């Protein structure tokens, strides 16, 4: 395998940054160059992440400092709206051209950036150095819808429920365990950024209704697809199995997957295929760990591809247990 590449993480204190540090630490060809966090500046990374063995400390570089730090790839793990200033610093630097991977929504609609959902877009990946990582819900929705895309008749409705880690670390009602106790909180019921993201990249309208629940990690979406051609369950299941037959991070089963079983897993599970009596309405269920395949694991896939490594290097692949 090629010489090791170095990864800088900007915004490493958040949930996704934490998961990415763990994955990079277990990768055979990546090393951490730096991890930035204003709140933890000066503290050892190993104090917070036992997976890291070394003397690296969190730092708080300015945007202008970032191009001087020498990482082969820079991951921006920042809230929406914060990535552009970091990217501009690299645009203005004459001698720094790292791979830049943005975990926020800031460049997901920018045609100049590669949209990195490898199972659906890797054919466009070659040579891309600006990568936009898809949203967590958007990943699950697209994988749930894509095998039936050519047969859709009208908008797809997706009902989503996520653990409160999806709301980030900035305190709000949506990540307050006390307010979520015995509760189920709807939000952004029209126009959610992932609704727009999926509609744009599938080139088909999707209507998304997200909710947050009391559990910490893992999401589920139930997708309601109207079909212009009648299908039976066997034919639908066969289409999904054929579509993802060679994909280690997509598992297709018969039963509807449970969100409680996806926490800590690096793949998406699809199943629960249910059809109306006339065969023109299909319901599909998808589950995913929002911090892993919904963010950090997918980022590692994209970084592997960007450097020509095996796409799944450093990703723990659980044994398959799907139905035949």
Q: Dihedral sign for Cα 286, 289, 292, 294, please.
A: positive
The two beta strands, 156-162 and 206-212, are: parallel
Q: Which of 25, 86, 136, 158 is catalytic?
A: 136
Token pair, residue 225, equals: 């697809």
Burial class of residue 151, CB neighbours in 10 A (0-12, 13-18, 19+): middle
Spatial distance between the Cα atoms of 61 and 16, rounded to a whole number of angstroms = 20
Spatial distance between the Cα atoms of 27 and 29, rounded to a whole number of angstroms = 6
Residue 158 annotated to the active site: no
CA angle 139, 140, 143 (to 5 degrees): 85
Spatial distance between the Cα atoms of 320 and 155, rounded to a whole number of angstroms = 32
Angle, helices 297-306 vs 15-25, to 10°: value is 50
Spatial distance between the Cα atoms of 129 and 99, rounded to a whole number of angstroms = 4
DSSP state for residue 320 in the 8-state scheme = P
Give the residues across from 31 on adjacent strands: 6
User: What is the chain's length?
Assistant: 324
Which residue numbers are catalytic?
136
């Amino acid at each position: 395998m090629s010489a090791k590449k170095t990864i800088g993480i900007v915004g490493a204190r958040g949930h996704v940054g934490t998961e990415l540090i763990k994955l990079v630490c277990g990768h055979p060809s990546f090393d951490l160059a730096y991890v930035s966090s204003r709140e933890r500046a000066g503290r050892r990374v190993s104090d917070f992440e036992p997976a890291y063995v070394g003397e690296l400390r969190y730092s708080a570089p300015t945007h202008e400092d970032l191009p001087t730090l020498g990482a082969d790839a820079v991951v921006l793990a920042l809230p929406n709206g914060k990535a552009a200033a970091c990217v501009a610093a690299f645009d203005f630097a004459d001698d720094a051209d790292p791979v830049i991977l943005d975990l926020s929504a800031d460049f997901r609609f920018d045609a100049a950036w590669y949209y990195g959902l490898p199972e659906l877009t890797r054919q466009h990946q070659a040579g891309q150095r600006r990568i936009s990582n898809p949203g967590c819900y958007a990943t699950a929705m697209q994988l749930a819808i894509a095998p039936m895309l050519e047969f859709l008749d009208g908008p797809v409705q997706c009902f989503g429920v996520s653990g409160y880690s999806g709301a980030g670390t900035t305190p709000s009602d949506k990540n307050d365990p006390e307010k979520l106790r015995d509760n189920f909180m709807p939000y952004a019921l029209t126009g959610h950024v992932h609704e727009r993201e999926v509609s744009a990249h599938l080139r088909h309208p999707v209507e998304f209704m997200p909710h947050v629940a009391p559990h910490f990690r893992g999401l589920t979406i139930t997708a309601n697809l109207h079909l212009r051609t009648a299908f039976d369950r066997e034919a639908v299941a066969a289409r999904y199995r054929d579509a993802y037959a060679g994909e280690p991070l997509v598992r297709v089963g018969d039963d509807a997957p449970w969100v409680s079983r996806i926490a800590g897993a690096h793949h998406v599970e699809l199943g629960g295929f249910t059809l109306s009596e006339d065969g023109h309405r299909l319901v599909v269920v998808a589950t995913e760990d929002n911090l892993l395949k919904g963010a950090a694991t997918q980022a590692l896939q994209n970084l592997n591809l960007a450097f020509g490594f095996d796409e799944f290097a450093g990703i723990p692949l659980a044994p398959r247990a799907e139905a035949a």
